Structure 1
Amino acid sequence: MSTTPTRRLAALAATVLLPAAILLLGTESATATTTTVPACAELNQRKIPASAMSLPTTGGRVQSALVTTSVVSGQTVEYCLLDADIFPVDRSAPAIKMRVALPHGWNHKALMFGGGGYNGTIPALTMNVPFGPADQPAPLARRYATFASDSGHQQGPAAVPSLDGSFGVNDEALKNFAAGDALKKTRDASLFLVRLAYGQNPAEVYFSGGSTGGREALIVAQRWPQAFDGVISAYPAWNNLAEVLDVGYLVQVLSRPGVFPSPAKQTLLYNSVINACDGLDGIKDKVVSNLRACGFDPHVLRCPGGADAGPDCLSDPQIGAVIAMSTPFRWPYRVASGETEYPGFPFLSGADMRTPFLGFGTTAPANPMPVTSGYGMQYWEQWVKYFLTRDPGYNSLDLDPRHPGKWLGRISHLSTIQDRNNVDLGPFARTGGKLILLHGAADELVSHRSTNDYYQRVLAKLGPSSTHAFMRYYLVPGANHANFGTPAFAAGWDSLSALERWVETGQPPANPIVADITHDRTRPLCEYPAWPRYRAGDPYAASSFVCTR
């Protein structure tokens, strides 16, 4: 029996009313007949009325529609690919560029993908969900109608991918991205096109995203509780303003002479943490699972006398930088979102030189910000120039987030847009929505501690029983941000099938198993705050571990 009767009845009603709606929109060639093969050619140059979207726009238009094929998860999938624009209210704002893939043999479901970083490009509609499995098909190969957008701005040609924040000078573009307005506009326009293509609404609509996309996943559950039946949120940057302030502080610290730890020193730090803390979970496998027992002290790496003596030790200023990165950053003023701190990054984050771009980077922050600095440092520079000061010539190193001076009011305003911290997910739960939350414990870019905090806030607001009825949070030891580079544990789990079963049959995830897709091993996927402890047996098999609190 379905757990979402309200949603299903709404979908059925919309399907029954569809022929009249089609006639009113001038699509007289359409019929009431439903199909699993999309009417592709008829959608080319099709207008999308502003009334199809619940948020203000000036409508939209399909710019192209063509039947194409792609090899997705080893399958050749034929589908109609639509490119469309959603037009802004502010004529100076860029359009939202969106894309929809309508497969032949449609499974009567739809899935929206979230973006990453500052967005600015449309995610690939053929991709899998974050931390997706290597042995199961991606959504389009399952014959989902998939869709996504650039969130309302187009990245400049010279920018590092997903690191162009120049759109932030426009208020509508900023709200489309940071407040998530583009998500609902894209969802509404895409489902309008799905109805025209197949003659019916999807039975279920899902959302999946990681990082900025994970934040977007929480936004849709918070702001539009009836818009999606199920949501996968991975390593979500939900408190975006709070993290930006922390990164800005780290930029201040790491830009000082002699403070930045070289790549060799970062490798030294990472290996030292592994040597000290691997095995606290019962086995030495280069994965630290028992995080609470890992009490590594970077002072054990101190150079004699505290002065820099080469790659085999850390100077006092470098130890200070490492501690600053791993310590909560609290700002001495109030912001309107109510956030007061960012929890910092564990020692395993950013020190792993297999993924330097996401952590410290390979060179110290400077003006202009080097592309070899950490991703977060470059994100900070774009934020200062375009979100905060709206002055492209502003030196981001001149802004101290501890003492922002005249910029405090603007920071407080931005917090109401960027910190999506409403933890009352009761409306989402009451309409039958289900949420799967995932994070890697070695994430270099978004601290898993912040996701721990979000989950604990939901528990405090709704209570354990109510929270457990619609939400699961899994922390994956050894996994980093988006399986970037060569993580200690490259997580792969079929979260989409688990979400489908939960939404469509009422069966919540039971004893899930996560694979390390690069090392051919499995572990139990433990519900936070539990972690996998080795008991006995094959160290590559999940059955040899037990989830422990």
Structure 2
Amino acid sequence: MRKFSLFAAVLVAGASTIAGAGPATAATACTDLDQAAIPASAMSLPTTGGRVTSAAVATGPAGEYCRVDADLFPVDRTAPSIKLRVALPRDWNRKALMFGGGGYNGTIPDVASNVPFGPADRPVPLARGYATFASDSGHQQNPASPPSLDGSFGANDEALVNFAAGDALKKTRDASLFLIRRAYGTSPAETFFAGGSTGGREALNVAQRWPTAFDGVISAFPAWNNMAEILDLGYLTQVLSQPGAFPGPEKQKLLYTSVVNACDGLDGIRDQVVSNPGACHFDPRVLRCPGGTDAGPACLSDAQIGAVKAMSSPFRWPYRIASGETQYPGFPFLSGADMSTPFLGFGTTAPANPMPVTSGYGMQYWDQWVKYFLTRDPQYRSLDVDPRHPGKWLARISELSKIEDRNNADLRPFARAGGKLILLHGAADELVSPYSTSDYYERVRSVVGPRATDGFLRYYVVPGANHANFGTPAFAAAWDSLTALERWVDNGQSPVNPVVTDLAHARTRPLCAYPGWPRYRAGDPDSASSYACTR
């Protein structure tokens, strides 16, 4: 595809535009965007317009680019602005890519970063010539809060809808494309979206709500049913707060090691990866302490076994919520996930009132949600809300579910518009359940039809991969999903026999379309060619 050299000031329709010559004019062409107004009419959802707050040439590993920061102003004057950033590369490939966020967002993702589970041996999107952009989703995190764990913005309706319903996504996309058109004098030929976790939910959200806004979408480990997961996390917070129920770090590691030892060979080879999790049925009672009472780090008490089972089992609530969701499927701690992963795991101390920062990420996420989304009372004790019996909070939970569960499985409008979707999840994810993503995929197949689904969607579960390759996963997944998506969108060539690399152990495996998994046949155990996708 023809590239447009950035940073020459030319006049297009009387405006200074970035579209032509060399580095001598770079600073002038870029700074011409500084303080530029973004009209409210540029966005399809309500704002009061926006303004570029800075524009300057930046240089980094992805090369030289013009970094543009802007604010989009709210309708409610008490709501925070949406802060966005656009990176305009010197040599533009006439494509654009939006990055999704994580957790409660509140910061702008690195526009010079890679897509989730991206490859280490290929340039990042900005270095490939993509104009990249992202936003904080409409609020700014308190710097004193743990990363992505500040939910205080939820007290404002516009900020909550910007984040949870995803309105900030479309506002950011429209404003960023306005700036790209102003910079280059033309619109992108293609626009993509890539995100994981909250960003994965955002990726599915744009495909559901604005089916013509993006040509291709990469959704990794998506928290699409956010309300459903929050209810499960709240239930697990209750369980783990009970006396003696919390398994400390040594016991968490004991469970993980025991599961891997029991199930590792079910795929034909022992490589510390449970590649056939569907056949792994580990019973935590084999780790029971004598008499069921806690006897130290080498065993689990009855209370801890009960907690492990609760974390690994579906949570169903005995009431209706407006989104229609009825359960969350639990986490794969009995088939290869490690709950001791630092920060994203289940923490080093039990949940309590007030919630310790050493408790699990999910428990802190629940605590913030109760304080700012549900009760809107920062002093409220989150352990005082029981997701099984929410009492006076049921109506509010139901209302929030319509905003937070992005569960429309009818992706036919996205498919008719020519959109392509790559869906990824690690089988050992400790924070967002891969069972949940499989559930969404099956819903899409049921609504759209298996053959039609295969025409626009591919879903891969990566054995041994955890949430965002955090910490030291058994398999640190890396795959060039962006090139695969480009070929699919540009040429109609769907992914064929993709191979995923383990960045931590210098080995490859076939990337098997769900519900397939890689079975070892013969040969070099570190080579994908020695495995076959099996159902």
Residues 42, 206 of structure 1: alpha-carbon distance in 2 compared, 3 angstrom cutoff: same
Q: Give the 5 Å matches for 1:518-537.
A: 518-537=504-523
CA distance in 2, matches of 1:385, 1:349: 33
CA distance in 1, matches of 2:121, 2:337: 31
Aligned to 1:251: 237
TM-aligned CA deviation for residue 35 of structure 1? 4.2
Aligned to 2:67: 81
Return 5+ residue gaps in structure 1 as ranges.
Answer: 3-18
Aligned to 1:365: 351
Aligned to 1:55: 45
Q: Give the 5 Å matches for 1:94-109.
A: 94-109=80-95
Q: Give the 5 Å matches for 1:173-188.
A: 173-188=159-174
Structure 1 residue 330 corresponds to structure 2 residue 320: no
Aligned to 1:226: 212
Is the 1:267–1:351 contact (alpha carbons within 8 Å) kept by the matching residues of 2? no
CA distance in 2, matches of 1:36, 1:266: 58
Aligned to 2:34: 44
CA distance in 1, matches of 2:234, 2:21: 50
Is the 2:337–2:466 contact (alpha carbons within 8 Å) kept by the matching residues of 1? no
Aligned to 2:6: none
* CA-to-aligned-CA distance 1:230-277 (integer Å, 9 cap, x gap): 000000000000000000000000001111001111111001100110
CA distance in 1, matches of 2:382, 2:336: 21
Aligned to 1:198: 184
Q: Give the 5 Å matches for 1:144-543.
A: 144-347=130-333, 352=338, 355-543=341-529
State which drifts further: 300-309 or 519-528: 300-309
Aligned to 1:116: 102
TM-aligned CA deviation for residue 293 of structure 1? 0.8
TM-aligned CA deviation for residue 291 of structure 1? 1.1
* CA-to-aligned-CA distance 1:286-327 (integer Å, 9 cap, x gap): 000111110110111111111111111111110000000000
Amino acid across the alignment from 2:486: E
Residues 541, 354 of structure 1: alpha-carbon distance in 2 compared, 3 angstrom cutoff: farther
* CA-to-aligned-CA distance 1:345-404 (integer Å, 9 cap, x gap): 012589626614222211100111111111000000000000000000000011100000
Is the 1:351–1:360 contact (alpha carbons within 8 Å) kept by the matching residues of 2? no
State which drifts further: 110-119 or 369-378: 369-378
* CA-to-aligned-CA distance 1:460-518 (integer Å, 9 cap, x gap): 00111000000000000000000000000000000000000000111000000000011
TM-aligned CA deviation for residue 34 of structure 1? 5.1
* CA-to-aligned-CA distance 1:400-420 (integer Å, 9 cap, x gap): 000000000000000000000
- % identity of equivalent residues: 76
CA distance in 1, matches of 2:481, 2:464: 18
Structure 1 residue 139 corresponds to structure 2 residue 93: no
TM-aligned CA deviation for residue 143 of structure 1? 1.3
Amino acid across the alignment from 2:362: G
TM-aligned CA deviation for residue 520 of structure 1? 0.3
Is the 2:280–2:334 contact (alpha carbons within 8 Å) kept by the matching residues of 1? no
CA distance in 2, matches of 1:135, 1:349: 30
Is the 1:491–1:517 contact (alpha carbons within 8 Å) kept by the matching residues of 2? yes
- Runs (4 or more) in structure 1 with deviation over 6 Å come to none
Return 5+ residue gaps in structure 2 as ranges.
Answer: 2-9
CA distance in 2, matches of 1:446, 1:351: 11
Residues 190, 292 of structure 1: alpha-carbon distance in 2 compared, 3 angstrom cutoff: same
Amino acid across the alignment from 1:48: I
CA distance in 1, matches of 2:287, 2:214: 49
Is the 2:333–2:339 contact (alpha carbons within 8 Å) kept by the matching residues of 1? no
CA distance in 2, matches of 1:110, 1:200: 12
Is the 2:371–2:379 contact (alpha carbons within 8 Å) kept by the matching residues of 1? yes
CA distance in 1, matches of 2:172, 2:346: 35
Is the 1:240–1:419 contact (alpha carbons within 8 Å) kept by the matching residues of 2? yes
CA distance in 2, matches of 1:152, 1:474: 31
CA distance in 2, matches of 1:306, 1:356: 28
CA distance in 1, matches of 2:286, 2:43: 58
For the residue of structure 1 that corresponds to 2:428, the secondary structure is coil
Is the 1:354–1:485 contact (alpha carbons within 8 Å) kept by the matching residues of 2? no
Residues 384, 326 of structure 1: alpha-carbon distance in 2 compared, 3 angstrom cutoff: same
Aligned to 1:8: none
CA distance in 1, matches of 2:87, 2:405: 31
Residues 69, 349 of structure 1: alpha-carbon distance in 2 compared, 3 angstrom cutoff: farther
Higher RCO, 1 vs 2 (CA within 8 Å, ≥6 residues apart): 1
Is the 1:36–1:106 contact (alpha carbons within 8 Å) kept by the matching residues of 2? no
Amino acid across the alignment from 2:360: G
Is the 1:36–1:105 contact (alpha carbons within 8 Å) kept by the matching residues of 2? no
Is the 2:55–2:68 contact (alpha carbons within 8 Å) kept by the matching residues of 1? yes
Residues 36, 251 of structure 1: alpha-carbon distance in 2 compared, 3 angstrom cutoff: farther
CA distance in 2, matches of 1:514, 1:184: 32
CA distance in 1, matches of 2:389, 2:92: 55
For the residue of structure 1 that corresponds to 2:127, the secondary structure is helix
For the residue of structure 2 that corresponds to 1:438, the secondary structure is strand
Is the 2:339–2:430 contact (alpha carbons within 8 Å) kept by the matching residues of 1? no
Amino acid across the alignment from 1:433: G
CA distance in 1, matches of 2:417, 2:291: 62
Is the 1:114–1:212 contact (alpha carbons within 8 Å) kept by the matching residues of 2? yes
* CA-to-aligned-CA distance 1:200-242 (integer Å, 9 cap, x gap): 0111100000000000000000000000000000000000000
TM-aligned CA deviation for residue 29 of structure 1? 2.9
For the residue of structure 2 that corresponds to 1:94, the secondary structure is coil
For the residue of structure 1 that corresponds to 2:343, the secondary structure is helix
Is the 1:444–1:480 contact (alpha carbons within 8 Å) kept by the matching residues of 2? yes
